[in-house]
Amino acid sequence: MHKHTIDNFQSGLVWFRRDLRLHDQHALFLALKHCKEVYCVFVFDTDILDTLPREDRRVEFIQESILNLDTHLKNTAQSNDVRIITLHGSAVQEIPDIAKLLGVQAVFTNHDDEPAALKRDALIRGKLAAQGASYFDFKDHVIFERSEVLTQTGKPYGVFTPYKNAWLKKVSETDLQSFDIKPYKSNFAVLKAAHRQRLKASVHTLEELGFQRTNLKELGVHTGIDGGKFLFKDFLKRMDLYHETRNFPGVKGPSYLGVHLRFGTVSIRELARTALEKANAGSEGASIWLSELIWRDFYAQILHHHPRVVTQSFKPEYDLIQWEDDKAAKKLFAAWCDAQTGFPVVDAAMRQINSTGYMHNRLRMVVASFLVKDLGIDWRWGEAYFAKHLLDFDLSSNNGGWQWASSSGCDAQPYFRIFNPVSQSERFDPKGTFIHRYLPELRNLSPAALHAPWTAKPVELLSADVQLGKNYPLPIVDHAKAREKTLMRYSVIKSTKTK
């Protein structure tokens, strides 16, 4: 974290981004502490929104979360005249403009370490400086960031376990303490009448942003601060069993807080503090879940130190691999995207992401391994597909996960470890609970045949009303042959290491 010396100001602006909450929000806390009047703003940034499909669950999640934030703001300030200002345009233009309009002396925000965000923030910092306004940014999205956890020789970690050990050794009460805004809640600013005329009177609707409703409501996705609180409370009852349940997609095992961590509707400090306390009290489930939170920090610092991973393999020699990219490969990729691979666990998982924007973590590994090591397709294709469809998409974690699956990343599984989709299915969805949910056309198959329908006897397929190649696809690849091909494909790595 930058060590800022913050003066006291008459008025300041808090720019909300990946931190859509009021409680334990670092930038908001410091703005309220150092400014007599604090305005709150969120920019629906066209530089990001213009690249998205018109039906995007994330935009709807954000819009609903901003509405919820607005309600909490009025309640906290105990005034209907205190609200979040929403703007629709390029943040590079909008933030300096709103700072000028409101006459604030400083803008406060929290770090966003994605490469595009860093460029954007540098431009905004420069424009504000030209206007005579200060720009302050803080750590809020992770527990440790950037160069806070380094090896004894001062280098960034490239392997998770030593990083985790160093993280656990370093973490203190101070790192996990909450930023309480209650003592300063009278410092929220009320918009002056002249500003009210110039600014929109309420939060932008999806339609005003040029987006359409998705199936978020039907899916029962909990949005905003209230949604995050509800899910965390629900998970607390199950956290102790997390180590036993987390790998089974047919069971309610995960916290489902990924999207809330992504948009900051929950506090990472509160989550990590709770997990650490429970882990220290002997909860194995809490200890394993804390590891998941530490993975998040790990991948964020990898992106910070190695921004090239956005387009290149973390291990450069893996970019020598020759991936399939002809017409046949594009056809195979389309079958993977459309849940038409003929491998039920892969197809059920792809139906899950396509219809809900969520995919169970175990299945993320299975479908990634299948795309890269069964179909021989570049991990970047899969990463981009997830980036477009995942509600909880986060660049550093998504990139880290895909590079892990393709063995090209830091601390990745060795390239010769290739998931067998059938045995993964048998092991983690033994009764086919998950497969039945997303592939109802296979519901009459016996558990033995469900994981590999092509092995079923014709009479069973007939009585189960499964017609391979008609109402359910034949496998698009032979796993055993694909495995041999993958080992050949990856042999270029071995040859670079022996040189």
Query: Which residues are tagged catalytic?
Result: 292, 295, 323, 361, 379, 402
Alpha helices in 357-411 (DSSP H): 361-369, 379-389, 395-405
Tell me the Ramachandran region of residue 56: left when phi exceeds 0, alpha when psi lies from -120 to 50, beta otherwise: beta
How many CB atoms neighbour CB 97 within 10 A? 14
Nearest-angstrom CA–CA distance, 165 and 39: 40
Nearest-angstrom CA–CA distance, 312 and 409: 10
129 neighbors 8 (Cβ within 8 angstroms): no
CA-nearest of 387, 382, 363 to 372 is: 382
What is the radius of gyration, based on Cα positions, of the chain? 24
CA-nearest of 313, 326, 329 to 371 is: 329
26 neighbors 43 (Cβ within 8 angstroms): no
CA-nearest of 111, 172, 178, 109 to 139 is: 111
CA atoms within 13 A on the CB side of 9: 25
Nearest-angstrom CA–CA distance, 423 and 207: 46
